[in-house]
A and B are shown apart, each in its own frame.
Chain A
Amino acid sequence: MSEFFHQYFDFNYMGEHFWEVLEAFLQNVLIFTVVAVLALIWGLVLALLRQLPGKKFLPIRFLTIAYIDLFRAIPILIVILLISGGVPFLEFIPKEIRIPHWLGKPDPFWYGVVALMLVYGAFTAEVYRAGIEGVPGGQMEAARSLGMSHWQAMRNVVVPQAVTLIPAPMLNELISLLKDSTLVSVIAFGESVLISRELLAQSFNSSALTLTAIFFILIILPMARIVDKLIARNQGRIARGSHMEVA
């Protein structure tokens, strides 16, 4: 038992390596931030493409659905390995893009960002879609009957209402994203899990992993509480009988 505590809860050890692990954890936060912005935009694009009406947009709807299904089905770890292992071989792409070193970040950072963006774009698209489809169909019909185009109705009537339904599930996706940023360790990017395992290899002590877990808890718990608040707020709305209230 004391061996267990020494192995995982050596507070002196955590203190000694605090800044090193924190710095590595900030790399996770950085991956998270960049991917969150990109995936929220990319997911919205996908969701809107999926809602395009009529026969002539059928191929676009089909491709969008295929993309979303595909990237929801493939394990993220495999996407990361395929991107980092495959893209550098595509010699028709210029080397600066194939093996990117943008903004002083090494290529595994960018492979991780792209892989997570591709996957989380598909996940966030589904959250947007749930929000859009959560708005009763009569809203779109009423707007169209007033002479609005599909896009005008989307922008002025449907999306403003959908927006209130989206934040809670979206924040859940973002919590997952933050945790999944540790998967980039598999392609040798120096984020918190990789650095913790480095320390483990040097010292045979796992406390750095525990410290990393603590950092994640400290950041994710407040996010989880916000999700609770948002859900409670939405339920409050429904309870008052005003089902859809534009915020």
Chain B
Amino acid sequence: MKSKSPLTALLAALAALGVAIFAAGCGGGNDETSGGGGGGEVLTVGSDIPYPPFEQGKPGNYTGFDIELMEAIAEKIGRTAEFQDTSFETIFRDVAQGKFDAVISAATITEEREKAVDFSNPYYLSEQAVLVKEGGSIESLEELDGKTVGVQQGTTGQELAKEKLPNSEIRPFPEGPDAVNALKAGTVEGVVIDAPVAANAVEKSGGVEIAEKVPTEEEYGIAVAQGETELLDEINQGLKEVEDDGTYKTIYEKWFKLAPPQAIFSASHAAE
């Protein structure tokens, strides 16, 4: 038999490396599954990460308001939440198709979305914020009309910008932080995005400020596939319990540095 050529040896080495990496990847995954806190049946939850302060962190170690709230709810109903990072534009389709059991991703409850999925009672009341460069002249949403405005693709901020800023060029970025970076770089002159995300950007990134907050009467909900009424009831029950025992307030204050508005408690009990 012919001795191995250098090329064959290289290919063999690459193949071995590939197998090793694959095996390591699988091992990591197994650890994650077995190591997840509360016990009980796994509840897979889709979320578009990062979207600080709602969802952030690295695979296997996600954190944020949504993540901690979902973990608390899952614990109440005897499940273990396991998170999957996914893209926001496809998130409702994926939960409807059963790719995961539930979605928590700072998702506003809208009629359009309710055609594809079922939402829990609201767990968060949201505002949109107009983010601008620090020390700039823009002080309101209206003043951005005709200017270049960044948004996150597929979000309510994008819809609000389209509606209120008919003369603007609206640039949809894949992730919120991309839009904030574009603002700092000066390629967009304003960003319309969820208020907590904007507040987080002001705190963490600097150089930007909130010009105006726009109340939108938006309510965030946890989505499940249509017809999953049992799971939905459990989630609503779990949400009520974490609100009643003060866990909700603790998590809220941890991530937003504010006390939660009273309205959220009545909102999440309204459907009863």
- Taking beta carbons and an 8 Å cutoff, which residues of A are in contact with B? 3, 7, 84-85, 88-89, 99, 106-108, 185-188, 194, 197-198, 200-201, 204, 206
Contacts and interface: CB of A to CB of B under 8 A. Distances in A.
Given A85-B181, A89-B185, A197-B153, A186 B174 contact: yes
Contact of A88 (B97, B173, B187): B187
Q: How large is the interface on B (under 10, 10 to 19, 20 to 34, 35 or more residues)?
A: 20 to 34
B178 interface: yes
Interface in B161-178: 169, 171-174, 178
Contacts of B148: 106
A3 B88 CA distance: 20
Interface string B126-155: 000000000000000000000010100110
Contact of A108 (B89, B97, B154, B171): B171
Contact of A200 (B89, B97, B173, B178): B89
Contact of B92 (A108, A197, A204): A204
A185 B169 CA distance: 15
Given A108-B171, A201-B153, A99 B89 contact: no
Contacts of B173: 187-188
Contacts of B97: 3
Contact of B89 (A7, A84, A197): A197
Most chain A CB inside 10 Å of its own CB: which residue of B89, B90, B169: B89
A188 B182 contact: yes
B28 interface: no
A188 B176 CA distance: 12
Interface SS of chain B: helix, strand, loop or mixed? Answer: mixed
Given A198-B153, A201-B153, A188 B178 contact: yes
A186 B153 CA distance: 11
B169 A198 contact: no
Nearest to B96: A204
Contacts of A99: 185-187
A108 B187 CA distance: 8
A201 B92 CA distance: 9
16 contacts: A84-B187, A85-B181, A85-B182, A89-B185, A99-B185, A106-B169, A108-B187, A186-B178, A187-B178, A188-B150, A188-B174, A188-B179, A194-B153, A197-B153, A200-B89, A204-B116
A204 B114 CA distance: 12
B254 interface: no
Given A3-B97, A188-B150, A200 B90 contact: yes
Contacts of B182: 84-85, 187-188
Contacts of B88: 201
Nearest to A3: B97
Interface of B: 88-90, 92-93, 97, 116, 148, 150, 153-154, 169, 171-174, 178-179, 181-182, 185-187
A23 B169 CA distance: 17
Given A3-B97, A188-B173, A201 B89 contact: yes
Nearest to B184: A89
Given A84-B187, A106-B148, A198-B153, 11 more contacts: A99-B185, A99-B186, A99-B187, A108-B187, A188-B174, A197-B89, A201-B88, A201-B153, A204-B93, A204-B116, A206-B93
A7 B148 CA distance: 33
Contact of A7 (B93, B154, B178, B181): B93
A85 B185 contact: yes
A188 B186 contact: no
A194 B174 CA distance: 9
Most chain B CB inside 10 Å of its own CB: which residue of A85, A197, A198, A204: A204
B208 to A, nearest CB: 14
Contacts of A89: 185
A7 B171 CA distance: 26
A99 B186 CA distance: 8
Contacts of A7: 93
A16 B172 CA distance: 22
A7 B89 CA distance: 14
A193 B97 CA distance: 23
Contacts of A198: 153-154, 172
A89 B207 CA distance: 13
A21 B64 CA distance: 37
B206 to A, nearest CB: 14
A26 to B, nearest CB: 18
A85 B150 CA distance: 14
Contacts of A84: 182, 185, 187
